Amino acid sequence: MQDRRDFLKTTVAAASLLAINSVPRAFAAGNPMYTNIIYTKDNPGRWVGKAAIHAPQVTVTGSKVNVVTNHPMSNEHYIVRHTLVLEDGTYIGSTTFTPADKPESSYELPAGYKGKFYATSFCNLHDFWLTESMV
């Protein structure tokens, strides 16, 4: 029985690593495979004119990343979640919002990190928005 558990744990770990390593390719700007699935300021797809209040705005101070989505919040239309992911697919964190919250979140980058990272904002009506940044 222990061998089976070890096998299942190893399989789950390997599948997780494969999924995480595919994240940067999924977020790649201009990837035609993800048109109308992932939206950006430069590629708003069917949501032309909505980038200003949906694409996350990112500021970096030292190793602290602040993410803000300038979106009005109501029970019918709101930002559901922010997520921060490094270029290699490393998950840094996420924040889930209710309609009563302000869509603002903060995350700490790993010590000494240099490179790209991705902030996402998910709207309950206007889908998944991405901002690519560099530090």
Q: Can you read off the two tokens belonging to residue 65?
A: 């990343």
* Residues forming beta bridges with residue 40, ordered by sequence position: none
How far apart are alpha carbons 87 and 11 in whole angstroms? 24
In tens, the pLDDT along 66-82 reads: 999 999 999 999 999 99
Helix (H, G, I), strand (E, B) or coil at 62: coil
In tens, the pLDDT along 1-37 reads: 566 655 555 554 444 444 445 555 554 545 555 667 8
44 pLDDT more than 50? yes
pLDDT number for residue 10: 54
How far apart are alpha carbons 124 and 135 in whole angstroms? 29
Asked if residue 27 lies in contact with residue 118, where contact means CB atoms within 8 angstroms, the answer is yes
Q: What is the pTM of this model?
A: 0.75
Q: Where are the beta strands (DSSP E) in 74-126?
A: 79-86, 91-96, 104-108, 116-123
pLDDT number for residue 13: 45
CA angle at 90 for the pair 60 and 4, rounded to the nearest 5°: 160
pLDDT number for residue 37: 86
What domains are there in the chain, each with its CATH number?
2-134 (2.60.40.730)
